């Protein structure tokens, strides 16, 4: 069987995966805090017909002769570039300007996950939670609670949550912490705009916003996805044409095989 036919089949599978990643990017173009994916290919392997030879007496050296056997998937990256900030004017809509992730967990500060989506809310007890009811964790892994009689809630760029109590005095409910990783690309997406640390991401370093390399918090804004529609549609065209070209490889290989079969009539 012709090697080109199997190369074409493998490449078609790769371009299908690329289209899957592009489709997910486009589907999440308006998802807050979403980080787009990127598909990388690499050559599969090469069959060596003859190896290289060194120069000898009266004869120069020769280069190796190799035939490539197709392409394979090298990586599906998550691109953690900053998304644009959309102003909402809502105090509990938070964006991170710079590096870092909000830390989400349970009421005990455990089962931690990380997110760039900053659309937070108050539950019936006054705790700051995300849309799924998971707690936003502050310094020391503590939850942040705002009393029912609080007025004029504000959140500073350093993550400090302030409010005015019933007596008109300024109080602090807690301070939001941010987490930073050595290798953001290794974080695992777990759905619901959340990431989980992995063995290759390194352990998170948590601290107050603006310290330890983390960014600052912008209250009243949300970070949009970093998906560029023009780029995604261009990549879609490239993937479609690449898929199309590899179907031509299979068609041409099939025609050659048909001619070989028809040699004996």
Q: What's the pLDDT score for residue 2?
A: 75
Q: How confident is the model at residue 70 (pLDDT cuts 50, 70, 90)?
A: confident
Task: Tell me the per-residue pLDDT of 185-215, one tens digit each, with 9 for 90 and over.
Answer: 999 999 999 999 999 999 999 999 999 899 9
Q: What's the pLDDT score for residue 146?
A: 93
Least-confidence region, from 67-76, 226-235, 251-260: 251-260
Q: What's the pLDDT score for residue 91?
A: 95
Structure-model confidence comparison of residues 40 and 2, the more confident one: 40
Q: What's the pLDDT score for residue 107?
A: 87
DSSP the chain: --HHHHHHHHHHHHHHHHHHHHHHHHHTTT-TT---EEEEEEE--EEEEE--B--BTTB--B--EEEE--EEEEEEEE--PPPPEEE---TTBEEEESS-EEEEE-TTS-S-EEES--B-EE-TTSBEE-TTSPEEBBGGG-B-B--TT-EEEEE-TT-EEEEE-TTS-EEEEEEB-EEE-S-GGGPEEEETTEEE--TTT---EEE-TTSTT--EEEETEEEPP---HHHHHHHHHHHHHHHHHHHHHHHHHHHHHHHHHTT--
Task: Tell me the per-residue pLDDT of 4-57, one tens digit each, with 9 for 90 and over.
Answer: 888 888 899 999 999 999 999 999 999 999 999 999 999 888 888 888 989 988
Residue 1 has pLDDT above 80, yes or no: no
Residue 133 has pLDDT above 60, yes or no: yes
Q: What's the pLDDT score for residue 265?
A: 66
- The rounded mean pLDDT for the chain is 92
């Amino acid at each position: 069987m012709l090697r080109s036919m199997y190369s074409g089949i493998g490449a078609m599978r790769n371009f299908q995966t690329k289209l899957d990643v592009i489709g997910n990017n486009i589907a999440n173009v308006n998802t807050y805090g979403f980080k787009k994916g990127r598909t990388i290919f690499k050559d599969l392997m090469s069959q060596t017909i003859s190896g290289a030879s060194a120069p000898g007496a009266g004869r120069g050296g020769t280069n190796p002769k190799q035939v490539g056997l197709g392409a394979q998937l090298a990586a599906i990256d998550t691109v953690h570039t900053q998304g644009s900030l959309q102003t909402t004017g809502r105090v509990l809509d938070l964006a991170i300007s710079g590096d870092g992730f909000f830390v989400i967990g349970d009421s005990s500060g455990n089962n931690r996950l990380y997110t760039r989506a900053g659309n937070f809310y108050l539950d019936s007890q006054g705790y700051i939670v995300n849309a799924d009811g998971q707690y936003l964790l502050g310094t020391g892994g503590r939850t942040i609670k705002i009393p029912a009689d609080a007025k004029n809630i504000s959140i500073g760029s350093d993550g400090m949550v302030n409010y005015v109590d019933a007596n008109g005095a300024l109080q602090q409910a807690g301070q939001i912490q941010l987490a930073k990783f050595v290798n953001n690309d290794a974080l695992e997406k777990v759905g619901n705009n959340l990431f989980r640390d992995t063995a290759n991401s390194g352990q998170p370093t948590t601290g107050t916003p603006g310290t330890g390399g983390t960014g600052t918090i912008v209250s009243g804004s949300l970070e949009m996805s970093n998906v560029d529609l023009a780029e995604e549609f261009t990549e879609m065209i490239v993937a479609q044409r690449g898929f199309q070209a590899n179907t031509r490889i299979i068609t041409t290989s099939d025609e050659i095989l048909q001619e070989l079969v028809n040699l004996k009539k």
